[in-house]
């Protein structure tokens, strides 16, 4: 076998990064035969096994992949804790091009790495992955969720995620306007993908006025055909609109210095992960601007709730009912943010940390 060309990993730096946010374990996975290069990060398993999707992305550097997996796995700890799930936080990344480099052998090998963690990490879909890959992973491990419905799985979580965002938006409207009614409210949705489209349908049914955009014209045309009531706008126009609510449902970091100069909304509530470009800076900035920000990891928890039900024996109705709980949790977070005069993201972080710490202190570890 030829010698590996990978550069030496600066161990101290990685352990230092783990220490920064208390990551429990990071597993680097390499397999020459299948070309697999992956990193699995387990952030915290106090509440239960670390459940979080696998992202396949052509990261330019290993440092970029490591950064993403550390950040995303920590986010999952907070999301599950706040959703009241008995799950910890973890995530995996596969370095590669999801359009050209997927093979059955690669995902089976990845499944073996997941299995080597003995149930401490459970994987599912994320960007670049689909139920087809979960089926191949399942051939090697039971530590997988997000399987197709015909295999007893929970299928695509997006409709449940969209419903959770909708419930969170109602709570935000209640806090911001004194009424949860969304009828007549103007809502801009960035991203007409699986969640954005589902959210638009729910809001139109409620009588809200929707402005939606996507970078793909064909997606917008399909949405307009399916939901004729929506107004389609150009991607660059989405931040300039005179709306009540902005719903980021594309990528992260869209709440930043530039967009905050343009946004005219009084509520931000959407599905995208990591909406605040810098949590501390922009979390405070939205508050100062008088915008109620519904923390993303709070309102987009429908997907993880759906996966959690798959582990217990899937029950769609029960998953939807638990997702409805996002309304009460969101109201509780908004009120505690107002009472303590702190940004909503911080109130949400503190609630999640409180649950984890109290279990740890009581010795109730997974």
Q: Does residue 161 interact with ligand NAD by CB under 6 A?
A: yes
Q: What character string, x for contact with ligand NAD (CB under 6 A) and - otherwise, covers 117-156?
A: ----------------------------------------
Among 303, 305, 311, 334, binds ligand NAD (CB under 6 A): 303
CA 328 to CA 109: how far, in whole Å? 42
Q: Based on the shown chain and the rule CB under 6 A, indicate whether residue 273 belongs to the binding site for ligand NAD.
A: yes
Kindly indicate which of the ranges 28-36, 97-105, 175-183, 210-218 contains the residues binding ligand NAD, using the contact rule CB under 6 A. Answer: 210-218
Interface with ligand NAD (CB under 6 A), residue from 80, 213, 259, 329: 213
From the list 33-41, 57-65, 169-177, 190-198, the region that binds ligand NAD by CB under 6 A is 190-198
157 near ligand NAD, rule: CB under 6 A: yes
Residue 249 interacting with ligand NAD (CB under 6 A): yes
Tell me the residue number closest to ligand NAD, measured at CB. 193
Residues β-bridged to residue 55: 93
**What is the distance between the alpha carbons of residues 85 and 366, in angstroms, rounded to a whole number?**
12
Tokens of 75: 């986010």
Q: Does 191 bind ligand NAD (CB under 6 A)?
A: yes
- Minimum Å gap between C-beta 24 and ligand NAD is 23
Stretch that binds ligand NAD, among 67-75, 95-103, 193-201, 226-234 (CB under 6 A): 193-201
**DSSP state for residue 187 in the 8-state scheme:** E
* CA 156/CA 331 separation, integer angstroms: 27
Closer by beta carbon to ligand NAD, 114 or else 299: 299
Length of the chain: 366
Structure letter (DSSP) for residue 289: T
- Residue among 354, 268, 358, 352 nearest 304 (CA): 352
36: helix, coil or strand? Answer: strand
Q: How far is the CB of 249 from ligand NAD (least distance, A)?
A: 5
Answer positive or negative: Cα dihedral of 91, 357, 268, 318: positive
Q: What does each C-alpha distance from 259 to 176, 269, 363 come to in angstroms?
A: 21, 15, 45
7 catalytic residue (yes or no): no
Out of 79, 91, 102, 138, pick the active-site residue. Answer: 91
3 to 42: interface string for ligand NAD, x by CB under 6 A: ----------------------------------------
Q: Are 9 and 21 in contact (CB under 8 A)?
A: no
Residue 271 near residue 294 (C-beta atoms within 8 A): no
Number of neighbours of residue 75 by Cβ within 10 angstroms:
18
Given the complex with ligand NAD, which of 109 and 259 has the nearer CB atom? Answer: 259
Asked if 250 interacts with ligand NAD (CB under 6 A), we say yes
**Contact region with ligand NAD (CB under 6 A), list: 17-25, 60-68, 84-92, 243-251:** 243-251
- Who's near 150: CB < 8 A, 6+ residues apart? none
CA angle (354 as vertex; 335, 23 as ends), nearest 5? 125
Question: How distant, in Å, are the alpha carbons of 17, 255, 289 from that of 282?
Answer: 23, 7, 10
Residues 68-97 that bind ligand NAD (CB under 6 A): none
Summarize as ranges the residues that interact with ligand NAD (CB under 6 A): 157-158, 161, 190-196, 213-216, 219, 235, 249-251, 271-273, 300, 303
**Which active-site residues does the annotation give?**
91
């Amino acid at each position: 076998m030829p010698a590996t060309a990978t550069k030496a990993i600066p161990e101290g730096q990685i352990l230092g990064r783990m220490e920064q946010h208390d990551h429990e374990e990071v597993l680097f996975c390499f397999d020459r035969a299948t070309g697999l290069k992956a990193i699995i990060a387990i952030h915290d398993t106090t509440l239960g096994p670390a459940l979080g999707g696998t992202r396949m992305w052509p990261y330019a550097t290993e440092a970029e992949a490591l950064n993403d997996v550390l950040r995303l796995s920590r986010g999952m700890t907070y999301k599950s804790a706040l959703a009241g799930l008995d799950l910890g936080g973890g995530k995996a990344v596969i370095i590669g091009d999801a359009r050209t480099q997927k093979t059955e052998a690669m995902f089976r090998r990845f499944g073996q790495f997941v299995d080597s963690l003995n149930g401490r990490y459970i994987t599912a879909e994320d960007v670049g992955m689909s139920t087809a890959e979960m089926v191949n992973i399942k051939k090697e491990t039971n530590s997988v969720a997000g399987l197709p419905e015909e295999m007893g799985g929970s299928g695509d979580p997006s409709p449940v995620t969209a419903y959770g965002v909708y419930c969170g938006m109602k709570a935000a409207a209640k806090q911001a306007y004194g009424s949860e009614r969304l009828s007549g409210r103007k809502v801009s949705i960035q991203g007409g993908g699986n969640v954005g489209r589902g959210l638009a349908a729910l809001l139109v049914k409620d009588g809200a006025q929707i402005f939606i955009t996507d970078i793909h014209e064909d997606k917008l045309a399909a949405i307009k055909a399916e939901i004729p009531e929506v107004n389609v706008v150009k991607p660059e126009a989405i931040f300039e609109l005179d709306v009540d609510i902005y719903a980021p449902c594309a990528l992260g970091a869209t709440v930043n210095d530039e967009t905050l100069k343009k946004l005219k909304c009084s509520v931000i509530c959407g599905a995208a992960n990591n909406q605040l470009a810098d949590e501390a800076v922009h979390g405070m900035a939205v508050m100062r601007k008088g915008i109620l920000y519904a923390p993303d990891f709070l309102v987009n928890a429908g997907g993880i709730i759906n996966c959690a039900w798959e582990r217990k024996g899937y029950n769609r109705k029960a998953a939807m009912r638990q997702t409805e709980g996002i309304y009460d949790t969101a109201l509780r977070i908004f009120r505690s943010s107002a009472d303590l005069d702190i940004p909503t993201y911080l109130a949400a972080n503190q609630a999640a940390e409180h649950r984890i710490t109290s279990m740890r202190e009581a010795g109730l570890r997974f």
